[in-house]
Structure formats: C-alpha cells, structure tokens
Amino acid sequence: MAVNDKISALDVMRDAPVIPVIVLHDVKDAVPLARALVAGGIRMLEVTLRTREALECIELISKEVPEAVAGAGTIRSAADAQASALAGARFGVSPGYTRSVGKACHDLGLPLLPGVATGSEIMMAQEDGLTELKFFPAVQAGGLAMLKAWQGPFGDVKFCPTGGVHAGNAHEFLALSNVACVGGSWIVPTDAIAAGDWGRIEALAREACQLSR
C-alpha cells in the first residue's frame, strides 16, 4: 500500500488482527512509536484525540513514517474530522456515531469506523452506508455474547470490538465470523512509551500479528 493509496474502512480492519489505540502525551514519541509498530507488522495506527498533542503526532507520523497509515481516534464532531484530515489522518475512528460526523468524514473522503453499542445504532450507520463498525465499549456492552447475537440480523456487518479487549481474550473475539479485527491498547503500554522501550512495543506488535482470525 503506497502512501497516497486510497483506502477503505475494510482495508483498515483487514490489514492486521489488531488496531492499536494510541494515547500520546509527547510529540517526540510519535515517530519512534510508529516505526516500532510498523517493524512489528502493524501499520494502521489509531492516534486518539485525547491529548492536545495528538494532531501534531498524526502529522509527524504521516510525514516521517510513510509505511504507517495514521488514523485519528476519538472523533466526536465534524470539526474533529476536519482537523484530523488536515493533519494527515487517512482514517477516523469514533466512540459513537452521529450523522454529522458521518457526513463530515464522507465529504472529506476519510474512511470512518464509527462506534456502536446497540442494534439501533448499527441500523443508523447502515442507513448512511457504513457496514464496518467499531463495537465499543465491547466487553462492557455485551462482549462475545452480543457479537454472536448480532450475527443473525446483522450478518453483513463487520466489527472491530474495542474496550476491554486484551492479549488474553483477543483470540476469542477474532474467532467470530463478524469480527474483522480488534482494537486495543495493550500493544502500546503507557510505561513502555514513557520509557522509550520501542523494542518491547515492536515485540508486542509481532505477537499481536500472530493472533489468528
């Protein structure tokens, strides 16, 4: 996948078994973290908009680590989507779904993985043409049992469960036919980022890529 290739939400979900949920507090960590994840086999990087440094981190990754595909997480408004696209994000992830966020991402050409937790939210997203969805917060909202229940009425939807997913249970989610990947922060632990332990993060990424789906 070249740096300027257009991607879809399904491309984002299928690239690796895990999309890392990244929280960065220092811009100096952005590039080495991205390089470590790419070296470990993970290219789709969700940098959450939970810190004031997030947009600058996305911009740095986009410019300096062309092998990575930087995305923006925690998109909650059209303004968030616009700022993310301007920073170089190539996909977006939201904790929930509103039509204004969906329209903004569509107009920007920014593939979106919107968060859903109920059947009604899935139906609203589908009405707007979205069939690749983030199930959030996955464990707290019903976990494996909920995903299995959705296989019947929403058999045409692919999910990325995020929230409470970790190395110990990720394989159970990935075994489900309607799960394309999972989202998780366990491969980017805050203590490893703080210590600059990029070797540990690369190793965690390699382990995550071995998860079967």
Does residue 178 form part of some domain? yes
Does residue 4 form part of some domain? no
Question: Can you list the positions of beta strands (E) in the chain?
Answer: 18-22, 44-48, 69-73, 91-93, 112-113, 115-116, 132-135, 158-161, 182-184
Does residue 203 form part of some domain? yes
Nearest CA to 111 out of 162, 64, 160 is that of 160
Record the tokens describing residue 101, joined without a space.
């966020």
Does residue 2 form part of some domain? no
Helices 30-39 and 54-64: crossing angle in degrees, nearest 10, is 50
Does residue 40 form part of some domain? yes
Please give the pLDDT value at position 212: 81
Could you give the percent of the chain with pLDDT greater than 70?
98
Domain holding 146, by residue range, is: 9-209
Look at the chain and report how many structural domains it folds into: 1
Query: Annotated catalytic sites, by residue?
Result: 46, 134
Looking at every residue in the chain, the average pLDDT score rounds to 97
Lowest model confidence (mean pLDDT) among 3-12, 85-94, 179-188 = 3-12
Q: What is the pTM of this model?
A: 0.96
Query: How many C-beta atoms lie closer than 10 Å to residue 143's C-beta?
Result: 19
Output the domain CATH number for residue 180: 3.20.20.70
Does residue 196 form part of some domain? yes
pLDDT tens digits, 37-93: 999 999 999 999 999 999 999 999 999 999 999 999 999 999 999 999 999 999 999
pLDDT tens digits, 168-181: 999 999 999 999 99
pLDDT tens digits, 86-125: 999 999 999 999 999 999 999 999 999 999 999 999 999 9
Q: What is the dihedral of CA 114, 28, 200, 17, to 10 degrees?
A: 20
